[in-house]
Amino acid sequence: MPEKNYSSDRHMVGRAIADITGEPAEVGMLGYGKADQKTTGIHLRLRARAFVFVDPLVDRRVLLIVTDLPLIFSSITQEVLRRLAQRFGDTYTESNVMLTATHTHCGPGGYSHHRLYNGSTGFRPATFAAIVDGIVEAVEGAHEDLAPATLRLAHGELRDASVNRSRAAFDRNPQEDKEFFPDAIDPQTTLLRIDREGEPVGAVNWFATHGTSMTNRNTLISGDNKGYAAYHWEHLVEGVNYLADPDPDFVAAFAQTNAGDMSPNLDGSPGHGPTGDEFENTRILGLGQYEAAAKLAAEYMPRMAGTIDYRFVYVDLSAVTVSAEYTGDGREHRTGRPAGGAAAFAGAGYDGPTHWKTFHEGRNPGWDFLSRLAYRFAPTLRDTQAPKAIVAPGGLLNRFRPYVQEIVPVQLIQIGELYLLGIPGEVTITAGLRLRRTVAAVVGAEPADVLIAGYSNAYFHYVTTPEEYDVQHYEGASTLFGRWQLPALQQVAAQLATALRDGGTVPSGPAAPDLSELWKSSKITTPPDFPPVGRQFGDVLTEPSPAYRAGEQVSVEFAGAHPNHDLHRGSTYLMVQRHDGARWRTIADDGDWETTFSWAPGPASSSRVTIVWHSPADAPPGSYRIRYFGDAVESGRDRAPISGTSPEFRIHHEDHGN
């Protein structure tokens, strides 16, 4: 039973949610590296969930932000910190703010300041602004929400939600590492529950699986399996209405950890496992993560009494001297300038191969031969990068215009008995285990209480063990700074952990450069709108049927406008409404799982908007309608709101007829 003495709560916690959905049309999606995967609408809106944890006894706080984004780049972190400094002074800084991504592969890109990640999109100021504005809004809400709280921590296991997509590389690890993961997966699910006066008001869950249930064929914005897990707990279980509840009663974040080689595609190919339907797979994998977290939440969870603390450092990962204590071979080694290997261009087979058909995971004979020649004449390069078949010398490309990040943040946060090691990349489970053991040994914690907070504060691609690196699968080829990158990070993690344990300091190091000036001139112009010939904006082009059985799909097509004119952040492009006898009541919007909002260009700069509602099997019988909301910019005119309303249709249950 939970303790009843709530007045003894040591901590204060604030939580909030905000919309961070970017441009839903004609923007390249980030994650799969597929140039023709461009947004055409919304299935599930992207959100930021912010949590402020305070220990008043020592006057310290940390801010954890979990975002439904593909990746976090320093561009976002730097601008968010700039905005928070304007609002809160030195309350929130790079040291005590951890900004993480769930790593969905179905969000719009174009928000990085490094050239590699904007290749198919250019820089998208509107998407960048939506992300930053939403994150800051969530932080402001969490800051205002601060109140006494009880923190509780529990661990469990979740299986049938991940599979190792790089088993040959995993199997190269020493037996003691493999024995820790007998199924080659990390099944640990960790829940941090936040209570007020004995009632749960928030939760953060960590579990390792990729955000790739939605495939590279999908073009609708989606938070993928972790986005669904949060939506399910908040909206379907706790009744949070994202549009109507500015201060939700419950906030649930599903964060990533060491998911580098963990795939949700259980059958070993994109969109397969446990079913052949990517939407259903997303729901099932998200539901599984929710159910595992909810099971922990329903059981006895001990109260955490520890303090709040943090340490932070910038590291130039291209030039770290790694002591023999961490290298494993008894010798000192160095990291090298960033370089992408041939297998990095092949993609990960379980989750989505790229369009580069000439590259493969493992051996790439031509590139292998060229790299062996280079290594013969450059022994320093060989010692850091071999046996990688180098295709993209990031260090060289950085000389022309910033291509990938080299000075990266590493962070250690303590929340009670929980330690989060913030790594700005994708860490395999065995690499994560070594980092966790490194920190745990220093601070005297159990490894289960030390988690890798992957995808935090910036991005530098993958982290593999030296043994995994040698196989040169996708993950090893994407370990940019060479074979000794993980030992270098272990060395840094030990320094942070020692300083935190002893109350010491760590020199923060030279900060990553601010590259925003390189992209300030970027402007994206959306063409003017024209309705289809003989039609007006908002006209219904394809009407719904007069009646549907509950559980059937309803589709309506409207004469619309380009949705990028106004992103409707914190609002919606659609409403599904039911007549309750007195008025029309909204029962779903574009942030709901059962709706999709799709845009397609028509002739002569017209737009066709299709709204689909998958009516629930338990939808009450009655009269329904679907509404569309957009914004049109006609030639020579200012932006103006437009709307359309479908004819009424009825929902009935089969045994009641029409």
Q: Give the tokens for residue 198.
A: 């004995």
Whats the size of the chain, residue-wise? 658
- Among the options 74, 166, 213, 263, which is catalytic? 263
* In the block, residue with structure tokens 């009655």: 622
Amino acid at position 142, single letter: A
Q: Which of 256, 243, 336, 290 is nearest to 19 (CA)?
A: 243
Strand, coil or helix: 486: helix
Antiparallel, parallel or unpaired: β 540-542 and 407-415: unpaired
**600 within 8 A of 220, measured Cβ to Cβ:** no
Q: How far apart are CA 577 and CA 575, in angstroms?
A: 6
Query: Phi, psi (5° rounding) for residue 307?
Result: -90, 180
Q: Give dist(CA 319, CA 406) in Å, integer.
A: 9
Secondary element (H or E) of residue 133: helix 125-144
Residues 6+ apart with CB under 8 A from 165: 210, 261, 262, 263, 265, 268, 348, 349, 350, 351
3-class DSSP state of 613: strand
294 to 15, 86, 620: CA distances (angstroms): 18, 38, 28
Distances (CA, A) of 419 to 79, 96, 240, 453, 465: 26, 13, 29, 9, 21
Cis peptide upstream of residue 387 (ω within 30 degrees of 0): yes
| Count of Cβ atoms closer than 10 Å to residue 6 Cβ | 15
Query: Is 607 a residue of the active site?
Result: no
What does the alpha-carbon distance between residue 490 and residue 486 come to, in Å, rounded to a whole number? 6
Measuring CA to CA, how many Å separate 215 from each of 224, 332, 359?
A: 10, 42, 20
Closest CA to 459 of 346, 348, 338, 319: 338
Three-state SS for 347-414 is: EECCCEECCCCCCCCCCCHHHHHHHHHHHHHCHHHHHHHCCCCEEECHHHHCCCCCCCCCEEEEEEEE
Task: Kindly provide the b/e burial profile for residues 61-82, where b requires at least 16 CB atoms within 10 angstroms of the residue's own CB.
Answer: bbbbbbbbbbbbbbbbbbbbbe
Count the Cβ atoms, other than its own, within 10 Å of residue 312: 21
Q: Tell me the C-alpha distance between 423 and 420, whole Å.
A: 9
Q: Which helix (H) or strand (E) holds 436?
A: helix 429-443
d(CA 340, CA 414): 33
> In 39-160, which ranges are E strands?
41-42, 47-55, 60-67, 97-101, 107-108, 147-157
- Beta strand 107-108 with 220-221 is unpaired
Q: Checking DSSP bridges between strand 199-206 and strand 251-255, what pairing results, if any? A: parallel
The β-bridge relationship of strands 462-463 and 60-67 is unpaired
The residues that bridge with 612 in the sheet, in sequence order, are 555, 596
Amino acid at 102: T
Catalytic residues: 263
